Amino acid sequence: MLIIPAIDLKDGHCVRLKQGIMEDATVFSENPETVALHLHDHGARQLHLVDLNGAFAGKPKNGEAIRAIVEAIDGRLPIQLGGGIRDLETVEYYLDNGISYVIIGTAAVKIPGFLHDACYAFPGKIMVGLDAKGGKVAVDGWSKVTGHDVIDLAKKFQDYGVEAIIHTDIGRDGMLSGLNIEATVELAQALTIPVIASGGVTNLDDIRKLCAVQSEGITGVITGRAIYQGSLDFKEAQALADQLDSEA
C-alpha cells in the first residue's frame, strides 16, 4: 500500500481545499518544491500533484511550480499529475518533462475519444481521476455533478487501457472525516486495474482500515490536509502500511 502525499497547486502555492471549493483554500507553503523535497526525505515513494487552477481553467496554469518540483525531485521518485489536461500535446509535454503519470479527469468524461487516444499513444502512463458525489461523477474542478455512474465509467476506461483509477469522494476531501472505504472497495471489486483511494484520510486508523481491504485491488491512498495539519505522520503511516503488508 503506497501512501501518496498530495501537493495541490493554486497560484504557485501548495494549498488544500475543502470539498474542492477554490475559495476555501488553505495555503500550506509558498514553495511547493521545498514541500516535495521534505516529503521525499520522509520516505515518499510517489507524489501526487494537482494543478487546481488548471482544473478550473481547462488548461495548465501552474507550469512554473510544476517545473520547480520536477527539478527538485530530479527523477528520484515517480510523480503523477492532473488538472487541466485536455489534449495529447499537453500529455506528451508533461511526460517528456519529468512527469511519470498523467491523470485525466474531466476530459475523460467529456471527451472519451481523447482518453482512448492517450492510452494508445502513451501506454502505462495514463491514470483517470474519477471524483464522485453520491456515486455520480463530477467534472470541471468538481463544480458539476453528471449523471454518469462511477463504476460504469471506470469499467469503460479500464477497457481503454488506463493504468489506474483514482477515486475521490468529494464530500470527504479535505474534511478529515475518514475515507469512504465502502465505495472504494465496491469500485475496486468491479475492476481488474488498481484503484487509488482519495478523500478524507485523517489518521492511522484510516490507513489500517484501507490496508485491511487492499487485497480487493486498492494499491494506494492519497493524503494531503492530514499530513499538513499534523493528524497523520506521513513517515509513520507508510511504515504502518509496510508492516501490515508484510503481515498479510
Query: What is the rounded CA–CA span in Å between residue 140 and residue 151?
Result: 19
Q: Which pLDDT score, from 0 to 100, does residue 23 have?
A: 77
- Catalytic residue, chosen from 51, 131, 169, 206, is 131
Q: Given this model, what pLDDT does residue 175 score?
A: 56
Give the Cα separation of 156 and 158 in Å (integer).
5
- Residue 232: CA atoms inside 13 Å, Cβ hemisphere, count? 29
Any catalytic annotation for residue 41?
no
Q: Are 82 and 49 in contact (CB under 8 A)?
A: yes
pLDDT for position 103: 98
What are the E-state strand segments in the chain? 2-10, 13-18, 21-29, 47-51, 79-82, 101-104, 126-133, 136-139, 144-149, 164-169, 195-198, 218-223
Active site residue 131: yes
Tens digit of pLDDT at every position of the chain (248 positions): 999 999 999 999 999 777 667 777 888 899 999 999 999 999 999 999 999 999 888 899 999 999 999 999 999 999 999 999 999 999 999 999 999 999 999 899 999 999 999 999 999 999 999 988 888 898 876 668 888 999 999 999 999 999 999 999 886 655 556 788 999 999 999 999 999 999 889 999 999 999 999 999 999 999 998 999 899 999 999 999 999 999 87
Beta bridge partners of 145: 138
Q: At residue 208, what is the residue type?
A: R
